[in-house]
Amino acid sequence: MPSYDYPFNERIRTLLRLEDLFIKVLHNIEGEHEFTHHSALFSIFQILDIIERAELKMDLLQELDRQKMVMNNLRGNPSIQEQVLDDLVSDIESAAHPLRNTPGKLGQSLRDNEWLMSIKQRSVIPGGVCEFDLPSYHYWLGLSNERRRQDIQTWISPLMPLYNAIRIILHILRGSGATTSMTAINGSYQQMLGGAKPAQMLRVEISDEVPCFPEVSANKYAINIRFNSLDNAQRPRPCDHDIHFSLTLCNL
């Protein structure tokens, strides 16, 4: 069942973008062709760009500590299994410990690598990493897939504490809301929002059999969802029939 996450603020938007990039890196590392390893390296460069603009380390540690306190306060609640709480607290501690022990700025060891930064600098130019621009990079791509994979794993390793922290926070966020079955009349759905604690993200899930995708416009006051499909020219077209979907409002 396809699911679509829509963040309500820049903080969650940044976490979702980083999660997406880490998933692509870890997937492409397992490939054997030089193009998959090229894609993995360029995703790492994008991760560096994002974390350069945002101080995430302290923010993530504060959120992990807060979630640990929230989970511990739930102990004794008859509706929550103690083993589930124990496992979640253990996951939080496992994510926080290496992040807390990461010295200096996240990704600094990669920024200190002059060869990688020379590739990153050229990567923003369309076609800027051709073999005549960067013969050393062309040589590296021609090495064995085992050598390339080992190098990328070495480069991504200092960033993995960041990914593990993001993964557990988004896991908690996605599991925080109640899922409700909804119907978009003629492909359109609107809902006013209220409450003292506004949602930070919404999730939309639709059946595999529904050939549509949602486009969301939302803020802390209202949600507007419009379902579209792609025609033969690959242009979005509004769906003009009722669509059943699941909606989850999530909040840490």
Q: Read off the pLDDT of residues 13-55 as tens digits, 9 standing for 90 and up.
A: 999 999 999 999 999 999 999 999 999 999 999 999 999 876 7
- Quickly count helices (H) and strands (E) in the chain: 9, 8
List beta partners, residue 5. Answer: 203
**CA 161 – CA 167 distance, rounded (Å):** 10
Cα 124 to Cα 2, 8, 21, 45, 112: the distances in Å are 32, 29, 17, 10, 19
Both structure tokens of 205? 């899930």
Residue 102's pLDDT is 84
Q: Could you report the per-residue pLDDT of 169-212, keeping only the tens digit for each?
A: 999 999 888 899 999 999 999 998 876 677 889 999 999 888 89
Report the greatest alpha carbon distance in the chain.
Answer: 66
pTM above 0.85? Answer: yes
Is it the case that residue 99 has pLDDT exceeding 80? yes
Residue 176 main-chain phi, psi, to 5 deg: -85, -20
All structural domains of the chain = 8-171 (1.10.3900.10), 177-250 (2.60.440.10)
The whole-number pLDDT of residue 145 equals 93
Instruction: Compare 151 and 219 and report the one with higher pLDDT.
Output: 151
For residue 243, what pLDDT is reported? 93
Q: Are 37 and 148 in contact (CB under 8 A)?
A: yes
CB 221 within 8 A of CB 193: yes
The predicted structure's pLDDT at residue 153 = 96
**pLDDT tens readout for residues 47-72:** 999 998 767 888 999 999 999 998 88
- Which residues are CB-neighbours of 212 under 8 A, at least 6 positions away? 187, 206, 227, 228, 229, 239, 243
Question: Of 89-103, 132-146, 168-182, 227-241, where does mean pLDDT reach its minimum?
Answer: 227-241
